[in-house]
Structures are given as C-alpha cells and as structure tokens.
C-alpha cells in the first residue's frame, strides 16, 4: 500500500475543497469523497446550530476519514490484502514527498498505459485545520489494534487551499443549504494552524481557477517540492 497515496484537500469552509477535490479526482483518476459526508449526525446537528465542534467531536470523524481512505485503497488492491497491517507512525519526510511526486504522472500517461500503471489512492476533502488533526489523517495516532487491520503505510499528502478572510466571507454568504454558518468562519481561521511548512504539502490560492489549482498540484508533484501560494 506504500505505492498508493491519500490526498487530502484542506482549508477552512468556503475555500472550494469539494470542487477542487472532484477536479483532482478526475485529473488523477482517483476516487473522491467529501469528508463532510463522513461526519456523525451529532456533529452535523451541532454545526447546523452554529456551534463549533470540539476536538473530542472531531477525533472519531478524523479517524473515520483515515479508515475510509485505507479501506478504499485496500479495495483497489483486492480483498487478499485486508489481513495485513499498516505500521504505526513513521516519519513521512522524503518518503512522503516522493509519493506525492507521483501524483502528476497519471495525467501524462497515454490511455493505453493508464490501465497498467494506474495510480492507487483516494482524494478526500477535509478541513484538517490543526497539526494534530493532520496527524490523525496521516495515520500517526491509530491504535495498535486498529493498525493491525491495514496493509503497509499509506502516504498522506495535503493540498492547502489558502485565501483571505474577505474572499472567504463573500463566498460563505452566497452559499445556501450548507450546515456551516458564515459567523463560524472567524472561529475556523483562529483555529487554523498553517501546514505550509510541513512535509508533503502543496499550497494553492483560492483566487486561482480550479484548472490552475489542479495544474499546480500536478506540477508540485512532479517537482517533489512544497509550493507556496502565489501573491
């Protein structure tokens, strides 16, 4: 499973995580899941009332996202791999960057080569605001019992969608039917711990077009490097 990749599209509400996640799914030929769909009902109810989630609320949700990513890749590998284990936390420095660097390769493959060399993995949109949340998503906090269900270490890469409060608020006020309240944006921005200097992170601006964001992720993957937002 170390040849697969778990790509997390992250940022505060209103950045366009779901839109970019779906676009990356199409470009990289990987399945996409909106992490909001994995919230337990209790979390959805709290957010619908405008109540911010606590770390206690988020922990099982983040663990569910990680398990979902691992299960998806195991399904892609085949059922015979399901009895193997994902090792406990390991540093994801050069290894993570190397795995992230493989993201763009599918985009360049001819249709005849894609079936043979199809990349394994999954794209999930998730706010992932704190470093501790990202640790859960990387699988660094799985219990030994939980880890025994998985095969290999699934490398995790993040696409950080960065934008100004003004633009985010304008987007939020235009959204209809989303459980996130515009008034909670400031709370999220206060909670946000920038991942820009962590390993395996690509930063894109929400002011770019979706196409440009996808191209930046692919370009960054090809160059094995961090990419900061253009100003």
Give every CB contact of residue 128 below 8 A, 6+ residues apart in sequence. 8, 10, 134, 137, 158, 195
pLDDT of residue 227: 35
pLDDT of residue 51: 83
pLDDT along the chain (231 residues), means of 10: 86 93 95 96 89 90 94 80 44 47 45 56 96 94 53 84 90 66 79 94 96 94 48 36
Q: Measuring CA to CA, how many Å separate 157 from each of 56, 96, 98, 112?
A: 24, 7, 10, 27
Residue 40 structure tokens: 């337990």
Please give the model's pTM, rounded to 2 decimal places.
0.78
pLDDT of residue 187: 84
What angle (nearest 5°) sits at the alpha carbon of residue 23, between those of residues 127 and 50? 30
pLDDT of residue 90: 37
| Residue 126, φ and ψ in degrees, nearest 5 | -160, 140
Give every CB contact of residue 136 below 8 A, 6+ residues apart in sequence. 59, 62, 63, 66
């Amino acid at each position: 499973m170390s040849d697969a990749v778990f790509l997390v599209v992250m940022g505060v509400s209103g950045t366009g995580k779901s839109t970019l996640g779906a676009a990356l799914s199409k470009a990289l030929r990987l399945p996409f899941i909106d992490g909001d769909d994995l919230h337990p009902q209790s979390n959805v109810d709290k957010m619908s009332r405008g109540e911010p989630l606590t770390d206690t609320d988020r922990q099982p949700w983040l663990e569910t996202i990680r398990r979902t990513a691992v299960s998806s890749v195991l399904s892609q590998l085949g059922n015979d791999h399901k009895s193997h284990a994902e090792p406990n936390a390991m540093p994801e420095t050069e290894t993570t960057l190397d795995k992230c660097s493989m993201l763009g390769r599918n985009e360049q493959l001819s249709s005849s080569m894609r079936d043979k060399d199809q990349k394994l993995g999954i794209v999930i949109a998730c706010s992932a605001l704190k470093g501790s949340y990202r640790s859960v998503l990387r699988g660094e906090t799985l219990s030994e019992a939980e880890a025994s269900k998985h095969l290999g270490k699934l490398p995790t890469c993040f696409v950080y969608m960065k934008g100004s409060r003004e633009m985010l608020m304008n987007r939020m006020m235009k959204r209809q039917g989303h459980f996130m309240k515009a008034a909670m944006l400031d709370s999220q921005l206060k909670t946000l711990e920038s991942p820009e200097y962590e390993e395996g992170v690509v930063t894109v601006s929400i002011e770019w077009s979706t196409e440009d964001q996808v191209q930046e992720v692919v370009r960054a993957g090809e160059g094995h490097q961090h990419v900061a937002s253009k100003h």
